Amino acid sequence: MAFKVPAEIHELVPEELRSKYGIYWSSKGERYYVFRDVAHVYDPSKKRSSVKRVALGSIKDGVFTYSPSYLKTLKIAKLQEQNETLSKSVASGETRRPEPTTVAKPKVVREIQKALEPVVDPRLHREKVAYPLQTVLTVVLLAAFAGLTSAVSAAVYWRQHRAELAELIDDFLEEDISHDTINRVLRLIDAEQFHGLLTRMTSGLISQAVNRVFHIDGQAVTASKSDTALKGRYVFNAYDSINQVVVASLLIEEKKNEISTAIELLSMLDLKPGDLITADAMNTQKALVQYLAERGVGYCLAIKENHPTLQKEVHFLFATVEESRRRKCRTLDADRGRIEERSVTVLPASLLSNRFHQEWNGLKGGCIVKVTNNTEAKGKRGRNSSQTRYFMTTIPFSEDAAAVAGEIIRRHWSIENNVHWALDVSFDQDRMQCTNANYLSNRVTLNKIALNVLRAAQNATDVNGRRNSVKTMQQLCSTPAGAIETMGTALGLQGLLDGVKG
């Protein structure tokens, strides 16, 4: 049986709203909501139409309160009317046009929406959709800063912070959004186009734009297993360790691997002469080296069994070449219950046979590197270990070549610790049970944008080497205002909440 609204409640609705309006009772909000139907929207996935409503206000304890969005609509209409009047006055020479008036928004929200502008809404009949693309993606991104990475958790975030979001975002619908709508939007958006959002949102976090060091490596999204991807889909990442940002991300297509995707990933980077790329042995490939050499970009690549002849000659040289031709560096670290000694030895790559200089462009003036890690674990259950690895690099052979190469090689592992581990632990990326390539790629892109911002905010608030963890930073972003403050800190913006009502 339909609930009948008492006549005295209708009497509380202002006179100017009494044409074509409706009222319903919300037991959750403990109030009556007054609305107006403005359009019928067809949903092709459900094969039925739904009604788009505009909130006019609410009634609680016998008092009618206008909806903030309705008041904003009235204000905009009034400004437009004033503007038309002024335009006529200017045309007739009666008055001078004043500076245009705009409704203030937080600087960070303006930055986000500016970055979202190139993203095209893929939904059919865009003029009839209930939830604008920019609004949906802005909320999903703010939720990602809080570590809420699924469509369900983003929809809950929308519902919990609806009032605050309405203060931040123009024309924000005061209605809950379903997780199906968020999921559908992320499935439909073109992944390549959406990746541009990572570039635009990251550009403001880069402080050093020359002689950058990029590390490339693959990461499995374990829960995305399917009949054709038994170990889950892989994402190929590029990490700038100097600026501490993920600069590119590429979902590896089925029936492909890192080797065939590496150059495609590198083409997404803003490479300049003097930059340097590091990669593990899988990507020690001649085509990749040739691609880098053509652009004046250096490299530091691992040498393993996939190049047996090169590996054998490198081992031989380190076993036979006299000490006077070697350059060495040794470091000692004690952390997390273990002592680790790193010994780095380099030899001039010119000692290699000419065939290798021809096969590996740019190597002749560089070095071959031997790195030995000896780890002594504290405690009775600790295990000691020793590992030796070999590399080739275009870093010029010099007195400090061992120290430079050692630091570059050590930085390569930051992509595992600072990116892959953080994405899996703090953003649950390896638990994304999704087989749709578009959704998976776009979700991963949002995760990396959020991680970049949180890392930058970490560094900006670092005091004497002590800083908040990523999890703590996510807690600080649990509300829209907290997320805006954090992103503003990362970007160095001031006056972040200009235009937000108190």
Task: Decide which of 276 and 33 is more confident.
Answer: 276
* pLDDT at residue 232 greater than cutoff 80: no
Q: What is the pLDDT of residue 496?
A: 40
Q: What is the pLDDT of residue 475?
A: 92
Q: How many CA atoms does the CB half-sphere of 446 hold within 13 Å?
A: 30
**Interatomic CA distance for residues 24 and 335, integer angstroms:** 62
Q: What is the pLDDT of residue 220?
A: 84
Mean pLDDT to the nearest integer, 314-342: 89
CA distances, 96 to each of 86, 93, 99, 100, 137 (Å)? 8, 8, 10, 12, 40
Q: What is the pLDDT of residue 326?
A: 96
Amino acid letter for position 93: G
Determine which of 32-36, 50-54, 87-91, 300-304 has the lowest per-residue pLDDT on average.
87-91
> How many other C-beta atoms can be found within 10 angstroms of the C-beta atom of residue 198?
22
* Range ranked top by mean pLDDT from 17-21, 171-175, 278-282: 278-282
Angle at 215 between CA 210 and CA 217, to 5 degrees: 155
Percent of the chain residues topping a pLDDT of 90: 47
Amino acid letter for position 490: A
Q: Please report which confidence band the pLDDT of residue 161 belongs to, taking 50, 70 and 90 as the band edges.
A: very high
Q: Please report which confidence band the pLDDT of residue 95 belongs to, taking 50, 70 and 90 as the band edges.
A: very low
Q: What is the pLDDT of residues 180-219, one digit of tens each?
A: 999 999 999 999 899 999 999 988 888 888 889 999 998 8
Task: Decide which of 365 and 13 is more confident.
Answer: 365
**Interatomic CA distance for residues 307 and 416, integer angstroms:** 24
Q: Locate 195 and state its tokens.
A: 């990746």
Q: Please report which confidence band the pLDDT of residue 300 belongs to, taking 50, 70 and 90 as the band edges.
A: very high
Q: Can you give the three-state secondary structure of 309-337, one letter per residue?
A: HHHHHHHHHHHHCCHHHCEEEEEEEEECC
CA distances, 124 to each of 35, 42, 77 (Å)? 26, 10, 28
Those residues whose C-beta lies under 8 Å from the C-beta of residue 465, and which sit 6 or more positions away, are none
Q: What is the pLDDT of residue 30?
A: 80
Location of structure tokens 């690099």: 393
Q: What is the pLDDT of residue 228?
A: 58
Can you say whether residue 430 is alpha, beta or left, with left for phi > 0 and alpha for psi between -120 and 50 degrees?
A: alpha
Q: Locate 182 and state its tokens.
A: 């968020």
In sequence order, what DSSP letters do the residues of 187-229 get, joined into one string? Answer: HHS-HHHHHHHHHHHHGGG----SS-EEEEEEEEEGGG--SS-
> Where does 387-436 have alpha helices with state H?
401-412, 414, 421-426
Q: Please report which confidence band the pLDDT of residue 146 belongs to, taking 50, 70 and 90 as the band edges.
A: very high
What burial class does residue 149 get, using C-beta atoms within 10 Å of its C-beta: 0-12 exposed, 13-18 middle, 19+ buried?
buried
Task: Decide which of 496 and 9 is more confident.
Answer: 9
Q: Locate 416 and state its tokens.
A: 């595992």
Q: Locate 30 and state its tokens.
A: 């403990």
Those residues whose C-beta lies under 8 Å from the C-beta of residue 149, and which sit 6 or more positions away, are 143, 427, 428, 429, 432, 443, 446, 447
> Where does 27-101 have alpha helices with state H?
68-91
* pLDDT at residue 41 greater than cutoff 90: no
* pLDDT at residue 159 greater than cutoff 50: yes
Q: What is the pLDDT of residue 225?
A: 62
Q: How many CA atoms does the CB half-sphere of 96 hold within 13 Å?
A: 2
**Interatomic CA distance for residues 130 and 184, integer angstroms:** 13
* pLDDT at residue 101 greater than cutoff 50: no
Beta-sheet strand order (sheet of 338-348): 245-251, 233-240, 213-221, 276-279, 298-303, 385-393, 367-377, 338-348, 327-335
**Interatomic CA distance for residues 190 and 174, integer angstroms:** 28
Residue 342 backbone dihedrals phi, psi, to 5 degrees: -115, 125
Q: Please report which confidence band the pLDDT of residue 377 belongs to, taking 50, 70 and 90 as the band edges.
A: confident
Task: Decide which of 319 and 428 is more confident.
Answer: 319
